[in-house]
Amino acid sequence: MPRIEVDGITIEVGGDGFLSDPDIWDEDIARLIAKYDGIEEMNEKHWAIVNIIRDNYEKKGMAPMIRVICKETGLKLREIYQLFPLGPARGACRVAGLPKPDGCV
């Protein structure tokens, strides 16, 4: 099982770096994955995005549309791409502990 290691802590992930078990997710894990991606500190905006994604996943079993993320957080579309340089799927959804979304992402 592949792992990612940050600050001496190891998390088990799938081949694509998404959490193997989305249920073990917590805020510490989110911080670790974010740090692994080069986001040294999660700010309020990062958390707002991650919490919306997590909430949507727990209710509907999938990642929300970028539309929903913008609407709920009040953030501009381009700001989201800047906050998560790997994009909404491989960046934000991964930090939020979701499985990899299907399709060309």
Partner 1 sequence: MEKITKDKIKAGLEVLKDLQDSKLISHLNSCVHCGLCADSCLYYLTTGDERLIPASKVDMVSSIYRRYCTLTGKVFPGLVGARKLDDANISEMVDLLYGACTMCGRCVGHCSIGVDIEYVIRAGREMLAKMGYVPASLQATVDAALESGNNMAIADEDFLDTIEWMEEELQDELNDPAASIPINQPGKNVLYTLNPREPKFFPLSIVAMAKIFYAAKETWTLSANMYDVTNYAYFSGHPKHSRIIAQRMFDEMQKMQAKKLVLAECGHGSRASRWEGPNYIGKEFPETLNSVELIAGYIKSGRIKPDKELTQEIVTLHDPCNLVRSGGIVDEQRYILKNTVKNFVEMTPCGVDNFCCGGGGGQLAMSEYNDRRIKIAEIKAEQIKKTGAGIVATPCHNCVDQLSQINVAYRLNVQIKTMAEIVADALIIGYP
Interacting residue ranges for partner 1, rule: CB under 8 A: 2, 14-18, 62-63, 65-68, 70, 77-78, 85-90, 100-105
> Active site includes 70?
no
Which CB sits closer to partner 1, 27 or 82? 82
CA 41 to chain centre: 14
Answer for the pair 34, 46: CB distance below 8 angstroms, yes or no: yes
Choosing from 37, 39, 104, 105, the catalytic residue is 104
Which CB sits closer to partner 1, 27 or 77? 77
- Quote the least distance from Cβ 100 to partner 1, whole Å: 5
Answer for the pair 63, 75: CB distance below 8 angstroms, yes or no: no
Which CB sits closer to partner 1, 28 or 65? 65
Which two tokens mark 27? 């805020």
Euclidean distance between the first and the last CA atom of the chain, given in angstroms as a whole number: 22
Other beta carbons within 10 angstroms of residue 8's beta carbon come to 5
Catalytic residue numbers read: 104
